[in-house]
Structure 1
Amino acid sequence: MGKLRIKRIAVGMAVVAAIMLGLSWESAPVAAASDSVTFDMATVQANGKSFTVQWTAIDLLDPYLRVMPVTAAGGTGHVESFADMVERSSAVAAVNGTFFDAYEQDESLRHPNGLIVESGGFVRSGDNVSLGIRTDKSVLVHRLETQLAFKVKHNQSVYTVTPWGTNTYYGDTDLDEVVAYTHHYAEQIDRQGGVKVVIDGGRITSMTEEAAAVPENGYVIYVGHSTNNDRNLLPHLHEGDEVEVEALMVDGSSSATETLAQAWETAIGVGPKLLSNGQVDIDFARDGFDDPKITSAANARSFVGVDGSGRLVLGTLSAATVEDMAYALVELGLSEAMNMDGGASSALYVEGAMKRPPGRLLSNALVVKRFDAPQVQVTVNGGFVHEYRGFIQQDVTMVPFRGIFERIHADFKWNEQERVLTAKRGTTELELRPDMLEAKVNGKPVQLDQSPVIIDGHIYIPLRFVAETLGATVGWDSGLYRATLELK
């Protein structure tokens, strides 16, 4: 392998200011972050050839940053311009995502082909070499497999529904099809020829032959009218049945099976793998590739990986084979790396500049978003509140009301007309109003550190208020910006 030759274009494109974390019930260390998003460009000599590489490195310990996949605005299966995905997600960095059916004539059927996980939930099921970001903010490139099951409780019996996939398109010819859909796929599921089973709030809320709206944090399971499903599956499902959702991720490298929400934040499956432990690790047969466009052809390439400091790396490469790219990334000092969709799909954006525009509309992308306030992970009795992150506002940690109170099985109600939120758990009754610094606990006024605030339709309240009114034990991890609540 040749020596590394680099032309430095720009370094340190973003400097994130340090803040003081103000938890009034306990002190916490200062979280400082600088150069959390950097950009570099290099001319690299590798495998006897010369390549131009552009890449951005991301420090995931910066609490202002989150990495997430983005699918086209129309839902899974549609396409959108990369620039629009970047703008819509307020990204500070982005790279194109997994393979998709780019040559499908129907633009509503250009489905992604790799697994996708966002905020601890499945956007698309799959079994692929994947970039994974765990809840401890570590980054890895392993083979990952999604598993989803619905345990339906009726009277004293439990029946398990295991869908073929999540937000996955199998065509319209197999009547035996059972598919789980979330809001990432579409706002409603109107497929004919089957029953739509709506699951929301841990229950089957409806079963219909008509179009069914997809709950914000729930599922619609499509069950095709095959003889098998009509006889053996549908009779076990009833409106009102309790449903336990079991979402798991299987790590092919460690053979560990873990609860998705507990262990994983983000993942995207593409491949093949390029590097392991800083060495070239390409095995097309192992990773399921035999297309010459991947195995031997030279083309524009994009990649993701991990550098020696544990930072996430997103980048593109001038015309190269997959093997060429792997050797070039060894020269750049990456420890782990994976190929992304390439050719006309290759794209890279960093801090306001389109470093490489793609040549086509895309199905999905992987983006880095910078928030105005530090983002706070929240766990309740060991379970992550993935659907809503907390944040720090004027030195006060604000946490999602619904995400916490649902997990402790409290009753609550929002009165839109009077703009008042009421909740009850045991003998404790709460009353809160957005933008008001006074709450009521069992009818008595209580002053808040910050007034409750509504963001994207969800109410956030001060963490201290939750701790004091519910008697929660609260812990704080300053490295991960994670608040842990334990309630009896």
Structure 2
Amino acid sequence: MRSGSGNHTLTWFKGFITALAVLLAVTWSVGIQPAEAKAAIKSSVSKVKVGGRTFTVQTVSVPKGTPVTLGLAKRQVGQTEAFTSIVKNYHAEAAINGAFFNAYGGPADPYGTLILQGRVAHFGGYGTTIGFLKDGTALMSSLYHSLTGKVTDDKGNSLGWYAVFMNRTPADGASTIIKYTPDRGSRVGFTGGIAVTIVNGKVTKKEVNANSLIPKDGYVLVFTGTEKKSSDRFHVGNSVEEKLVYKDAKGNSIPWENVVTAVGAGPRLVHDGRVELNAKAEGFNDPKILTSAAARSGIAIMPDGSVLLATVQGATMQQWAAIMKALGAKQAMNLDGGASSALYAGGKVLTQAGRPLSNVLVFGSNVK
């Protein structure tokens, strides 16, 4: 009896093991598999030899699809703030300084294109811009803007209008038209010119600009110098329409309407895996860009769609382009540098900015 019972138990156990093996095989085949580890932001130091010289490059690799936004100093265009403060305020897991800005007296207005949460916050008129779609796909291109519209009276008569700049202080004596949105803050930030306030597509106010209020659900157009006469076509109660078109350097329309985050700087360093550098053609004339060696910050799109953030000390732009190519960049561009060069990842500052900054690209699961 005992021997028979033992054989029965052994047979049952072997059958159980066989059934379990089949179940595991079926489970694996239908896709119920162990979850793969999520790609993480990683920092490293690379030694790159260019032209007989070895450069130490601090890099941060950001997986494709990582949420990204534009961190504005004090959450306004035209302000400055410590790099570490911006990183903290936006809950960044990785960050790098962004567009050039006026750091030498006067308003700290940026120079490049800025887009955040799908809104254009500043127009750039030169260089190269990196943009991100909602799914994290990165684009890189020369980028220009055309902002036009029409104003219509109660009789149906319409006249056209346009704006040259957005959210910046005009130069003294300038004749221009500038649009101000809530990304500038609560007020336009200067006095003079004629201010036209538009709320929900209607002109609600027209006045001499005395640092006019910017409505949260609208914008202000300010006309200065000889362009003041262009404000004559706007009257309280008129309907106002606007149209923003993205263009490349040749004036052709390009599909950037779905870009949710962007920073413009430049020049372009790498295009489709090859060094491509023509700073003068992109509108740069400063020797700091054309010939000098300096601290550099840059951003690259890698062949797998991930993004590489990088900083280096004492490189010319030609060396910087060669370094980015050596790091494997498919597309790459320069960002603001010198004392603005800054990099953060892994809970610590990897490259410390030498001055307060205007804007920062911030990455991480909780950026906001």
TM-score relative to the length of structure 1: 0.63
The residue aligned with 1:280 is: 275
| Counterpart mapping for 1:197-346 below 5 A | 197-209=196-208, 210-224=210-224, 226=226, 229-230=228-229, 233-252=230-249, 255-258=252-255, 262-346=257-341
* Residue 98 (structure 2) pairs with residue 97 (structure 1): yes
What is the alpha-carbon distance in structure 1 between the residues aligned to residue 204 and residue 64 of structure 2?
39
CA contact (8 A) 1:114 1:124 kept: yes
SS at match of 1:370: coil
What is the alpha-carbon distance in structure 1 between the residues aligned to residue 192 and residue 314 of structure 2?
46
What is the alpha-carbon distance in structure 2 between the residues aligned to residue 142 and residue 272 of structure 1?
10
Q: Which amino acid aligns with 1:198?
A: T
Q: Deviations over 1:53-75 (max 9, x none)?
A: 1222223424xx2x222222173
The residue aligned with 2:120 is: 122
1:318/1:329 CA distance change after superposition, 3 Å = same
Greater RCO (Cα-Cα under 8 Å, separation 6 or more): 2
CA contact (8 A) 2:97 2:336 kept: yes
Q: Aligned-pair distance for 1:124? A: 0.9
Q: Which amino acid aligns with 1:236?
A: R
CA contact (8 A) 2:65 2:135 kept: no
1:102/1:159 CA distance change after superposition, 3 Å = same
Q: Deviations over 1:189-243 (max 9, x none)?
A: 36433222112222222223354321234211112364x533xx23321222222
Q: Which runs of 5+ in 1 are unaligned?
A: 1-30, 376-488
What is the alpha-carbon distance in structure 2 between the residues aligned to residue 215 and residue 60 of structure 1?
36
CA contact (8 A) 1:152 1:161 kept: yes
| Counterpart mapping for 1:185-200 below 5 A | 185-189=184-188, 191-200=190-199
Q: Deviations over 1:72-106 (max 9, x none)?
A: 217322211111111111111111111122121x4
The residue aligned with 1:11 is: none
Q: Which amino acid aligns with 1:58?
A: V
The residue aligned with 2:10 is: none
* Residue 50 (structure 2) pairs with residue 55 (structure 1): no
CA contact (8 A) 2:169 2:190 kept: no
Higher strand share: 1
Q: Which amino acid aligns with 1:112?
A: P
What is the alpha-carbon distance in structure 2 between the residues aligned to residue 36 and residue 217 of structure 1?
38
What is the alpha-carbon distance in structure 2 between the residues aligned to residue 283 and residue 335 of structure 1?
17
Q: Deviations over 1:132-186 (max 9, x none)?
A: 2235542122100022223222231222221121112322323x33211112223
CA contact (8 A) 1:143 1:253 kept: no
1:322/1:191 CA distance change after superposition, 3 Å = closer
Q: Which amino acid aligns with 1:283?
A: N
Aligned-residue CA RMSD (Å): 2.5
What is the alpha-carbon distance in structure 2 between the residues aligned to residue 362 and residue 55 of structure 1?
20
Q: Which amino acid aligns with 2:324?
A: L
Higher helix share: 2
What is the alpha-carbon distance in structure 1 between the residues aligned to residue 199 and residue 184 of structure 2?
16
* Residue 117 (structure 2) pairs with residue 146 (structure 1): no
* Residue 49 (structure 2) pairs with residue 45 (structure 1): yes
What is the alpha-carbon distance in structure 2 between the residues aligned to residue 69 and residue 110 of structure 1?
16
1:235/1:298 CA distance change after superposition, 3 Å = closer
Q: Aligned-pair distance for 1:292? A: 2.0
SS at match of 2:57: strand
Percent of pairs with identical residues: 30
The residue aligned with 1:75 is: 76
What is the alpha-carbon distance in structure 2 between the residues aligned to residue 344 and residue 225 of structure 1?
35
1:328/1:363 CA distance change after superposition, 3 Å = same
CA contact (8 A) 1:125 1:168 kept: no
SS at match of 1:354: strand
Q: Aligned-pair distance for 1:298? A: 1.6
Q: Aligned-pair distance for 1:38? A: 2.3
Q: Deviations over 1:117-136 (max 9, x none)?
A: 11222211122311122355
The residue aligned with 2:176 is: 177
TM-score relative to the length of structure 2: 0.83
What is the alpha-carbon distance in structure 2 between the residues aligned to residue 43 and residue 56 of structure 1?
14
SS at match of 1:333: coil
CA contact (8 A) 1:47 1:328 kept: no
Q: Which amino acid aligns with 1:68?
A: T
What is the alpha-carbon distance in structure 1 between the residues aligned to residue 281 and residue 121 of structure 2?
25
1:351/1:183 CA distance change after superposition, 3 Å = farther
* Residue 164 (structure 2) pairs with residue 164 (structure 1): yes
What is the alpha-carbon distance in structure 2 between the residues aligned to residue 369 and residue 242 of structure 1?
41
Q: Aligned-pair distance for 1:247? A: 1.7
Q: Aligned-pair distance for 1:347? A: 0.3
